[in-house]
Structure 1
């Protein structure tokens, strides 16, 4: 049986199963974290552009475009909300898939749940199923692929679970989504391709979600796809791709971010901040910053003078210089004021990056870095540092509430933050109705 049909069979069977407490809690925490990313990112230029285009190309529908006061149909709402969630690179990620499932799966699940009138239990179960399928496909690839090349499978799984799509149509939806996913080989197939630069495309996450939504609707309408697409040993490690579904519990093992930048930047930032605080180093007296890291971090563009707001998120030198001068809050959230600063660029020019074979051997299971600062003739060396929010040390609900307050402080009032936190608390208590109502009626600062 084709893998697409096996995935469909898993989704159909999972739709009747109860959630364990740990999976339910993980799904709620993932929604909280994703909503933080979307609320903080709603005013960024990329999401604003998506909303403008969606008003023209996807007009109509009653589903909320979060925090904007606008509405759209299923594909339009998913496109806009996924774009906001991915805009600041503050969304969750998964080490095994080397990408970001939440920004694709959760906006789609919330929109489909509202459209279908699903219960909270059904919503949370669909999110768990979406992570299980999406991460499984991403992790099975034999070469690195940007998120948009595999996240559509997670979107189809979540939608299919909520819409109770018949298994045969769901199998075709997986195939259509895989065939229609954005081709991003130029950005993620190995060292032969140029370094990854920042852009509002964001690994194709928002647009691949649109293609996945339409893949499901097409399949339900009778459109066929290449069912054998995943049955390719040259592209996928087939053994275990389907067999472990429902037991992997991938959603429990995602990481969460406390800086609005690429995950490869986080460990150097944490190491640098620790050194600055521990030794009370004056950033204006820094002579050099040396970063020992792994190969994945060196695949970023890492421009000392980034080419725009999003490119800042993909520059270790610039982000290090920014937090050295402005402090850790400079990246939670990242704002347009960080772009084209001569003082930051001058310090970024003093940052050098090099490959550490021992740290490289521990990637991608771990993303570790070590930083040395030279200042006033002395050298200060950090320990090997991991990012905050790893699956091995997951943030608590209270940690994420604090993240919301810090990340949205520019776009939301204290009262608006409290309202959003209350709605997310109700989700955790078993009722997502107030969260949907908040999405529709709470307008932040999208202008």
Structure 2
């Protein structure tokens, strides 16, 4: 039986392009990722990555978004992926229980700086990388894992997309994926650390590593091609069945809050209940959140000490939304961390694992919220938070999110507009020069 990685490589090599629906889905995730990155560029992690990257990787031909700096493809991937992942606003996929686009989009765009590529080819590469990454993640039993962190598996997709764009031979694509998987980030502290940090899920490291793996494989490095053949760690059927029949990128979810997706259903429910009852946040006496048990493994700090810690606190994010509106989570700002009203309300939120949601994750991330105020209690269940394929954000809503996030970065309005227009034109068959020019026009 051929090893699974070689079969995945053969699938990549068989693709010339993908259908219109898949191209449009990939285009949506490009726009969303760039918008998220525009806000992420201003974060401490984003600034640190920008400052350090040239010393680590050196000059090259690949663009750092929203600047005139050019680095090697791996260096550009690292910085831009840091931007995309830092605020927990990046898209995700239910089967993967993680965030493919924050790795795949920066990796593909970094290589576009070194090769003349049409918009359709760029979008096809993203669809391929997204597919491989999601399959690698979904082939595991995520409910038995200590962590589902994206850095553990997104490198497979970055390597596959890079190998396909570079037109590497099939054995080299296979070895690139194997090298990326073997050298993936460890994410050792996830599951026990309670200290906020900017490493988070290790997405930038794994994405840059996927690019490096492709170049190494092209030069003759070899990886463990049987890496994904260990049953029952990787389910071969989930990994390989139906390749090309459907595309994972078409089933991405998008976020409107800069926090862990596991909190979104609870936030949606709490805000809807508040609106229904026209409740001032200060009148709320208590909030009970019944949720799937995996959500209780988050730190869920009532008084988070950093933006990253706040992103993993369901009580805190609910309190911010109820006191300051949903837009206060697009993105979450550091100034709310010391807000005594937010902390007081967050302390009145109680989380409970509901037996009704046993086995719900990762297919869904539901929550039922009950709010007590004025001696009355009201409850609401949300199974699919806004942005899920079953409760999607429209193209107009994604453009509105993009506009909101790009307005927070010191860039001229015309630059943001030109980026949006260039993304819209990716399916016209032209080369991607206009998108790179728009992304890197910092004047």
8 Å contact kept, 2:62–2:111: no
Q: 1:160 to 1:134 in 2, by over 3 A?
A: same
Show the counterpart of 1:263: 261
Deviation readout 1:279-298 (Å, 9 max, x if unpaired): 11011121111111111211
Show the counterpart of 1:253: 251
Q: 2 CA distance for matches of 1:388 and 1:196?
A: 28
8 Å contact kept, 1:33–1:400: yes
Show the counterpart of 1:368: 366
Which moved further from structure 2: 283-292 or 428-437?
Answer: 428-437
8 Å contact kept, 1:105–1:131: yes
Q: 1 CA distance for matches of 2:194 and 2:387?
A: 23
Q: 2 CA distance for matches of 1:399 and 1:51?
A: 30
Deviation readout 1:123-165 (Å, 9 max, x if unpaired): 1111111111111111001344311111111101110110001
**1:114 correspondence with 2:122:** no
Show the counterpart of 1:74: 73
State the secondary structure of the residue aligned to 2:338: coil
State the secondary structure of the residue aligned to 2:239: coil
1:328 aligned to 319, 326, 339, which one?
A: 326
**1:56 correspondence with 2:55:** yes
Q: TM-score, normalised by structure 2?
A: 0.94
Show the counterpart of 2:184: 181
Q: 1:121 to 1:93 in 2, by over 3 A?
A: same
Unaligned runs of 5+ in 2: none
Q: Give the deviation of 1:97 after TM superposition.
A: 0.8
Q: 1:96 to 1:267 in 2, by over 3 A?
A: same
State the secondary structure of the residue aligned to 2:93: coil
Deviation readout 1:186-206 (Å, 9 max, x if unpaired): 42xxxxx43776531131111
Show the counterpart of 1:4: 5
What are the within-5 Å matches in structure 2 for residues 114-153 of structure 1?
A: 114-143=113-142, 144=145, 145-153=148-156
- Count of residues paired in the alignment: 436
Show the counterpart of 1:159: 162
Q: 1:430 to 1:335 in 2, by over 3 A?
A: farther
**1:218 correspondence with 2:228:** no
Q: 1 CA distance for matches of 2:317 and 2:235?
A: 36
Q: 1:73 to 1:405 in 2, by over 3 A?
A: same
Q: Give the deviation of 1:342 after TM superposition.
A: 1.9
State the secondary structure of the residue aligned to 1:373: strand
Q: 1 CA distance for matches of 2:405 and 2:30?
A: 15
Q: Give the deviation of 1:57 after TM superposition.
A: 1.0
Q: Give the deviation of 1:177 after TM superposition.
A: 0.6
8 Å contact kept, 1:196–1:301: yes
What is the RMSD computed on CA atoms of the aligned residues? Answer: 1.7
8 Å contact kept, 1:333–1:406: no
What are the within-5 Å matches in structure 2 for residues 337-376 of structure 1?
A: 337-376=335-374
Q: TM-score, normalised by structure 1?
A: 0.94
